[in-house]
Amino acid sequence: MPRCVILLILLFLWVPLKAQDWDIWGYGKYLGSRITGYLPQEDALVDHQLHLRLNSRWYLSPRGTLAMEWRLRAFYGDLPGKLPGFKSYVVSSYPLTDMAWTLADEGSLFAYAQMDRFFWDYAADDWQVTIGRQRVAWGTTLVWNVSDLYNPQSILDFDYEERPGSDVLRFQYFTGPASRWEVVMQPAGKKRQRSLSLMGAFNRWNYDFYLIMAWQREKPVLAGAFSGDIAGAGFRGEFKASGHPRPVDLEETYLPGFVNLSDGRGADVQMTLSLDYTFANSLYLHGEILYNSIGVRENTALLAFQAQKAGLLSAARYSLFAETAYQWHPLVRLDLFTLFNPDDRSYILAPSVSWSAATNLDVYLIGLLGQGNRLSEFGAMGRASYLRLKYSF
């Protein structure tokens, strides 16, 4: 197992030599799941996952930092053997190199390690340069970040709280305490995976504003976002306009003879608006809407993978989100959210409880209950329940 050896060496190299120059932290998690109605031939899929995250920083100088973050996950249960494409689904793929190593792959067991942050950062007074696998987190809304050109992700992937990174060169120039220019360049072997973006951020009238111009997937992109408040309520929004996707953008998910997201012409325009309010008694209300001009109004489930390939957050024309949460006890928070497709009337209902069981031990229970017919957006998702234990160190 030479790969394991390399991995161990890397891990040892990474052990702090001098405490003040290093920082290391992370967490261990257990995630148990039970899914029904997802694979037609199976009654219930039961799975267990152990997950270790190791984050490290090496402070090379007062201004320079080297960062490395590992994700080690082991799956045991029904999904590794029974879900086609399971491995490509759980291991994040990157255009340049995945930096992922399979540790075990035997029947119902699958384990791998992946580095999802690996960057060097240099911060001068009014500029900063960051090179390597990092997260470029653009966007202001809380569910659908359409202006997040680099790491858009579905809210349903609740267990990847850090979200994947991107292999980019990033330069930031700060023009004030809440304003900056940012240039991000993503190199890649294939031309259509390369991108170049310019982002300007500024603050006026107690609002944050972002404007983005980019060249991505060989097409121009214009995007923007804002964040502020109306009468105490959080008010956020984003938009993105880009060229129409072509069949090649959808890669192997293109379905000849079916309606595809690349059909039609004109720009692809996506917009989100979000409102949230917290009452004095801790009751929290949050609503969000997503509009996607090339999204479809029927048979949405068929195009779910296409949407992913095209960098869309949903294949649907309209998506609605509503959430309420309440601090039932200082250590216990109750949450209920729903995702609703107004065209095919399918929805997901997601009740959850989070409990701070001890200082660094969190217990989380969530259900993702899909409802709708088989071709609707959420009907094909089945009903899943998860139990998660997380210990932070």
Of the candidate spans 23-31, 38-46, 212-220, 307-315, the one that interacts with other proteins by CB under 8 A turns out to be 23-31
333 binds other proteins (CB under 8 A): yes
Least distance in angstroms from the C-beta of 128 to other proteins: 7
CA nearest neighbour of 228 among 143, 140, 146: 140
Q: Is the Cβ of residue 237 or residue 245 nearer to other proteins in the bound state?
A: 237
Of the candidate spans 38-46, 71-79, 200-208, 371-379, the one that interacts with other proteins by CB under 8 A turns out to be 200-208
161 binds other proteins (CB under 8 A): yes
392 binds other proteins (CB under 8 A): yes
355 binds other proteins (CB under 8 A): no
Of the candidate spans 7-15, 79-87, 107-115, 277-285, the one that interacts with other proteins by CB under 8 A turns out to be 277-285
Helix H, strand E, coil C: the string for the chain is CHHHHHHHHHHHHCCCCCHHHEEEEEEEEEEEEEEECCCCCCCEEEEEEEEEEEEEEEECCCCEEEEEEEEEEEEEECHHHHCCCHHHHHCCCCCCCCCEEEEEEECCEEEEEEEEEEEEEEECCCEEEEEEEECCCCCCCCCCCCCCCCCCCCCCCCCCCCCCCEEEEEEEEEEECCEEEEEEEECCCCHHHCEEEEEEEEEECCEEEEEEEEEECCEEEEEEEEEEEECCEEEEEEEEEECCCCHHHHHHHCCCCCCCCCCCCCCEEEEEEEEEEECCCCCEEEEEEEEECCCECCCHHHHHHHHHHCCCCCCECEEEEEEEEEEEECCEEEEEEEEECCCCCCEEEEEEEEEEEECCEEEEEEEEEEECCCCCCCHHHCEEEEEEEEEEC
Of the candidate spans 221-229, 244-252, 255-263, 311-319, the one that interacts with other proteins by CB under 8 A turns out to be 221-229
59 binds other proteins (CB under 8 A): yes
174 binds other proteins (CB under 8 A): yes
Least distance in angstroms from the C-beta of 184 to other proteins: 13
Of the candidate spans 83-91, 98-106, 135-143, 245-253, the one that interacts with other proteins by CB under 8 A turns out to be 135-143
Q: For the segment 286-305, give every residue that binds other proteins (CB under 8 A).
A: none
Of the candidate spans 265-273, 292-300, 312-320, 353-361, the one that interacts with other proteins by CB under 8 A turns out to be 353-361
The residue count for binding other proteins (CB under 8 A) is 55
Contact string 222-241 vs other proteins (x = CB under 8 A): -----xxx--xxxxx-----
Task: Name the residues that contact other proteins, by CB under 8 A.
Answer: 23, 25, 27, 57, 59, 123, 128, 134-135, 137, 140, 142-143, 155, 161-163, 172, 174, 176-178, 180, 203, 206, 208, 227-229, 232-236, 276-280, 282, 284, 323, 325, 327, 330-331, 333, 337, 356, 359-360, 362, 390, 392-393
